[in-house]
Amino acid sequence: MKVRLAKSAGFCMGVRRAMEITLFEANKGDGKLFTYGPLIHNQQVLDLLRSKGVDVKEEIDEHDKGRIIIRAHGITPSEMEMVRSSNLKIIDATCPRVAKVHAIMKKYDNKGYFPVIFGDARHPEVIGLMGYSRGHGVVINSLEDVERLPEEKRLVVVSQTTQDIDAYREIVDAIKGRYPDAIVFGTICDETYKRQREVRSLASEVDSMVIVGGYNSGNTRRLYQISRSTGRPTFHVETEKELKRSWFSSTETVGVSAGASTPNWMIKSVTERLKTMGKVRQHPLRRLLRKVFLFLLKSNIPVATGAFSLTYAGLRLSRGDADLIHPFLALLYVYSMHVLNRFLDKEASTYNDPGIALFYNQHKIFLITTSLVGIGAGLLLSLSLGIAQFFVFLALTMLGLVYSIPIIPWRFGYLGRYAKIKDLPGSKTMAEALAWGTISSLLPVIGWSNPFWPGVLISFLFVSSMCYVRCGLFDILNTQGDLIVGRETVPIALGEENALKLLLLLNGFFGIFVLLSTATGIVPNLGYPLISCFVVSFFYLTAYQKGWMKDGSPLQAIAESNLLLAGLLAFIWKLL
């Protein structure tokens, strides 16, 4: 069955921020950690946080010690004062958009306005908002409630940030009819509005809809209700285990969206399961070819082929000529290291991409065998080139394997936090870039009689920068899973926005560097067409930064194809 995923599905900005703050604090291991009430409305996430030592605290005791996180929904001023009077260190993860509504409530309450809140009176966000009205306001959720509002009052009207935008407009129109001078604020989050609009549009284009998220999540239930209102068969599930084949017996295309408190790994698990269900109209040969294609895609063949292509381009850039032995060595090395490190670090894969994790579990014997064969073939091939190249390839292989293996015991205290090389902050992206640059540009130099070192250096920087930008993007896409397992990647250390800026800066710098090196004759004219690789990198980084493209196969396909583009340009340059 074909699955169409809504672009806006999953964590909203406020929830993502709260989760990242909580996971970051949990990974620090700096004493007890609590959240004041459930962090978000998703039981699976709460279970995960509990497994990492994050407890939920409903009541505050003055003798409590440790750290406490204020959830994304926010709390009342009196509750905040109570927390401040304890011995707990406060970490405020209130959504900035909710905090903005707090400020509106406080300002107009002080001016004597009567606050009216459109929302669910039992929702934590609304309870927090009511606290800023000092009990003077009222919560409404229907047109009938508007009729019961008191007369001769100056009204200020706000909404719970996750409410239905159309329902709020009806309420506002009714209020304006009775109170022309009422001050109304559009406080429904832009992401909420976009998500609701997208569900309506997607439901009109598919055979059925699945909404993923907690049953006690208000915004998820609203997405479910909006989808059902279109007349399209709609199903609300928390996990992929609740899906039933009978629901999709006549479905060819299913649409999927998710609430603001639903993490990426749960959405991906649902979409992977849906692909195996429903009605399929495909020729057997086409179905077989698709299975082969997906198998190759998930088995790291594309990235290994990209290493072959990038090495070929790097060799031609450094000396104007290239063999196929060293690109093939790079292919064997990258394939084997990527496969084995996935098995050595499978916990992160479970959260970053459940589909890939399942694939690796199903084909464990084949993948491990082929990766070991790849290492063996690489060692034999490098030995045929000379003893020096053999030892360099062996050293790179050993470093690649040691990357995910503990080398410092946990009993060494602080140092034990960095038991593996991959535990070092930002090491993953840099290690991969340096390994690619070494296998592609420095290893071949050993066999050259008189290498031109400036050209070799530029080739090394070209390959390494291409790899660093690609790997850096994937680190950004995998932030949730890496935070869960405690990995300190560049996006986690700098923040997603700053990490993207860094990648764009590095991409531009090295693009200009290669351009100047070509213009001054240090490297062949191949440098000119290779600049287009930096342009493609700029495009996909900017597309993600601006929200034009989200985490998914198209974005990753462009990043991987950029590596193939380098080799293709080098091959065409040779022919011309």
Query: Who contacts 29 (Cβ-Cβ below 8 Å, separation ≥6)?
Result: 417
Alpha-helical runs (H) found in 403-452 = 427-437
- The Cα 212–Cα 204 span in angstroms is 18
Q: Beta partners for 5?
A: 256
Q: Beta partners for 255?
A: 4, 209
264 within 8 A of 353, measured Cβ to Cβ: no
Q: Is residue 138 left, alpha or beta, with left meaning phi > 0 and alpha meaning psi from -120 to 50? A: beta
Hey, what are 428's tokens? Answer: 């993953």
393 within 8 A of 380, measured Cβ to Cβ: no
Query: Who contacts 183 (Cβ-Cβ below 8 Å, separation ≥6)?
Result: 108, 113, 154, 155, 156, 157
Hey, what are 7's tokens? Answer: 């672009």
147 is catalytic: no
List the strands of the sheet with 253-258, edge to edge.
2-5, 253-258, 208-212, 234-237
- The Cα 574–Cα 529 span in angstroms is 12
- The Cα 359–Cα 377 span in angstroms is 24
409 within 8 A of 348, measured Cβ to Cβ: no
For residue 418, CA distances in Å to 30, 422, 497 come to: 16, 8, 26
Catalytic residue among 20, 79, 81, 125: 125
Strands (E) in 133-273, as ranges, are 138-140, 155-159, 183-184, 208-212, 234-237, 253-258
Q: At residue 246, what is the residue type?
A: S
In degrees, rounded to 5, the angle at the alpha carbon of residue 545 between the alpha carbons of residues 537 and 515 is 25
- The Cα 119–Cα 409 span in angstroms is 52
Element (H, E) at 292: helix 284-298
In degrees, rounded to 5, the angle at the alpha carbon of residue 98 between the alpha carbons of residues 97 and 100 is 65
As to burial, measured by CB atoms within 10 angstroms (0-12 exposed, 13-18 middle, 19+ buried), residue 346 is middle
SS3 506: helix
Residues annotated as part of the active site: 125
